[in-house]
Amino acid sequence: MIFVTGGAGFIGSNFVLDWLAQADEPVLNFDKLTYAGNLNNLATLKQDVRHRFVRGDICDGEQVLALLLEHRPRAIVHFAAESHVDRSIHGPGEFINTNINGTFSLLEATRAYWSALPDSEKSAFRFLHVSTDEVYGTLGPDDAPFSETTAYAPNSPYSASKAASDHLVRSYHHTYGLPTLTTNCSNNYGPFHFPEKLIPLMIVNAQAGKPLPVYGDGQQVRDWLYVSDHCAAIRRVLEAGRVGEVYNVGGWNEMANLDVVHTLCDMLDRMRPKADGGSYRAQISYVKDRPGHDRRYAIDARKLESELGWKPAETFESGIAKTVQWYLDHPAWLADVQSGDYANWVASNYFNREGA
């Protein structure tokens, strides 16, 4: 069995679904079910005996340790985190609590469990920590992409809290010998993505006839990684990654935010044309940039390819087409996640700003 934290969130639920589609090894799925955690993501596993869901908080070390001792997993895959930069600017406290204190509590429970394992199980055990490229800071237009040796320089409360969690994981390997692995990924996209992030927000707002809010001049560059490619990378690192190592996971798809929005509009023009025959591009609205907005991220994923043979299967063109089609095909899922609290958040974050 593997123990997955945050397995009802965007990347976590995709990982659980992909894992059980390719292996019979059971998953114990541990998630707090905050606003971005959604059991509907896992609806197809409702009758699957290989999947057990437990609601809980990684900050509760006693609950985590009890579950570890009961189920005796061979690995922990740690997704659970607060992950939205804008929310971290509005309220950093939750990010400090979950991403730093929660990871510490999880590591302590894991260390207690792992230390008592028989030697054969102890050496085979893995703790895989899923992190972000944002810990590395920002790049200039001509800078080389982030590598695993790039110095940390986080610029938001979110990225700072993830950087702290990365350092904790590293320290538990070097101090206690805990067999850890860390992955730092670029911007994910795909099914089940909560519509506060750029790609799903644009798809949702376009269909609703609402403005498509673009920060500043829209020239912030990101490397885009299809979520199933990310899941495949995590499986490969868990299988064969060198203990104590860090592996960067990227899609080799650098694009400016505005170009992503244009691509989405053009795809929707073809796939779901507006009744008046106009283009969704007409809904683009420029809003004031967020504080400390990093200008460019880019990932050098050559270490993962050279050591473990992983590379993304999807191009941005193929991945974004699958993503748009998924959202068009799942209106009920979207309606369920777009609660009043969600609507209030979008209004306060995007539309209560002065124009760019």
Residue 356, pLDDT score: 42
Which phi and psi angles does 123 have, rounded to 5°?
-70, -25
Spatial distance between the Cα atoms of 175 and 172, rounded to a whole number of angstroms: 5
Residue 190, pLDDT score: 98
Query: What's at 129, amino acid-wise?
Result: H
Residue 345, pLDDT score: 47
- Give 181-195 pLDDT, tens digit per residue: 999 999 999 999 988
What is the edge-to-edge ordering of all strands in the sheet holding 254-256?
187-189, 221-226, 254-256
Q: Would the CA dihedral through 284, 285, 290, 294 be positive or negative?
A: positive
Residue 341, pLDDT score: 61
DSSP structure class, residue 283: G
Residue 75, pLDDT score: 98
Residue 89, pLDDT score: 86
Neighbours of 345 (CB within 10 A): 17
The alpha carbon of residue 151 and the mean position of all alpha carbons in its chain are separated, in whole angstroms, by 21
- The catalytic residue positions are 133-134, 158
Spatial distance between the Cα atoms of 117 and 115, rounded to a whole number of angstroms: 6
The alpha carbon of residue 6 and the mean position of all alpha carbons in its chain are separated, in whole angstroms, by 10
Query: What's at 210, amino acid-wise?
Result: K
Residue 36, pLDDT score: 79
Please, which residues have CB within 8 angstroms of residue 145's CB and are 6 or more apart in sequence?
A: 139, 223, 250, 298, 299, 300
β-strands 51-55, 27-31 pairing: parallel
Q: Tell me the C-alpha to C-alpha distance, in Å, between residue 335 and each of 195, 204, 232, 295.
A: 11, 10, 29, 32
Of the candidates 279, 275, 277, 255, the residue with the CA atom closest to the CA atom of residue 267: 279
Of the candidates 44, 39, 38, the residue with the CA atom closest to the CA atom of residue 18: 44
List, for the chain, all residue ranges whose pLDDT scores fall below the cut of 70: 339-356
Residue 25, pLDDT score: 98
pTM of the model: 0.93
Residue with tokens 């850890």: 180
Spatial distance between the Cα atoms of 155 and 228, rounded to a whole number of angstroms: 28
Question: Residue 319 class from Cβ within 10 Å (0-12 exposed, 13-18 middle, 19+ buried)?
Answer: buried
Alpha helices in the chain (DSSP H): 10-22, 61-71, 85-90, 93-95, 103-115, 119-124, 157-176, 198-208, 227-240, 257-271, 302-308, 316-329, 331-337, 340-346
CATH of domain 2-192+226-254+293-313: 3.40.50.720
Neighbours of 204 (CB within 10 A): 19
Of the candidates 158, 307, 175, the residue with the CA atom closest to the CA atom of residue 247: 307
Residue 343, pLDDT score: 53
Domain ranges of the chain: 2-192+226-254+293-313
**Which residues partner with 163 through β-bridges?**
none
